[in-house]
Amino acid sequence: MAELIDGKQLAKTINDQTKQSVDELKAQGINPKLIVIIVGGDKASQVYVRNKQRKAVQLGIISETKQLPEETTQAELLALIDLYNQDDTVHGIMVQSPLPAQIDEAAITRAILPTKDADGFNPENVGKLYSNSNLNFPVSCTPKGIMMMLKAYQVTVPGANAVIVGRSNIVGRPMAALLLNASATVTVVHSHTQDMSAYTRKADILIVATGIANLIKGEDIKPGATVIDVGMDRDANGKLTGDVDFDSAKAVAGKITPVPGGVGPMTIASLMQQTVELAKWSE
């Protein structure tokens, strides 16, 4: 039976450390501030943003949510971002996905100053990640949180065979770069990969981020592997589940994250931690 990786408990530890950092910065006259912009009324986004806002307030981070109507133009959104880019009291800016069809998400990502890029999506920061830069820069929050999980649960990364299922700019690609920077041997598989399970069955560390419920079964997992499930899906009965079939996987894996209570809390904890880091680096 696999050891459960408790993301909820680990996030609490990270948040306690973040709160301490916030208190130290405030004593120096620095008040970390995060701006979250949401366009339209996507319900899942509304919930996620509310959770971020609540956690920021708990940790003493100033957090403002700017709600814009569905018909907001790209020019209007860019103008708002420019306003916050020029505001020295703002340390982190993030624009919640998805965006309405009339707005080019890539253009919005490029518009946020790299030094205020709370999500770590700006191409300049992505370049620093892939070149394994020794400078200070933000990193995509979910992969950042996963790296903290691996460290906390003493998973050996150098020399490990790490397989990532999914190649999104939010999880798969930055995750690959972080693991490569940590000296893992990294393979990325995706929808065009032939015989995917031939790769997943060899993984010491298996990270799954596809949005396909129960895609990975116990038979697809190497005995004793560490399995990180990034998915947040609904099964046929409407029950919350991940990309990994938890029941069959936990019988094979050495360590595994649950859904919910695994990666999700760590993503928000990473965002809060990163906002405070941006505030520190801005001085």
Candidate list 119, 204, 229, 243, residue with the active-site label = 119
SS3 of residue 206 by DSSP: strand
Tokens found for residue 120: 């770590």
Residue 96 is a catalytic residue: yes
Sheet holding 3-4, edge to edge: 3-4, 255-256, 226-229, 205-208, 161-165, 185-189
Other C-beta atoms lying within 10 Å of the C-beta of residue 131:
11
H helix or E strand, kind and range, residue 127: helix 123-130
Other C-beta atoms lying within 10 Å of the C-beta of residue 32:
27
Other C-beta atoms lying within 10 Å of the C-beta of residue 79:
11
Residue 151 is a catalytic residue: no
Candidate list 52, 55, 116, 128, residue with the active-site label = 52
Residue 52 is a catalytic residue: yes
Long-range contacts of 19-27 (CB under 8 A, 24+ apart): 19/58, 19/59, 19/60, 21/273, 21/276, 21/280, 22/59, 22/60, 22/61, 22/276, 23/60, 25/276, 25/279, 25/280, 26/60
Pairing between strand 62-68 and 33-39? parallel
Q: For residue 80, give Cα distances in angstroms to 20, 83, 173, 179, 230.
A: 31, 5, 29, 35, 31
Candidate list 33, 55, 96, 229, residue with the active-site label = 96
Whether residue 15 contacts residue 73, with contact meaning beta carbons closer than 8 Å, is answered with no
List residues with catalytic annotation.
52, 96, 119
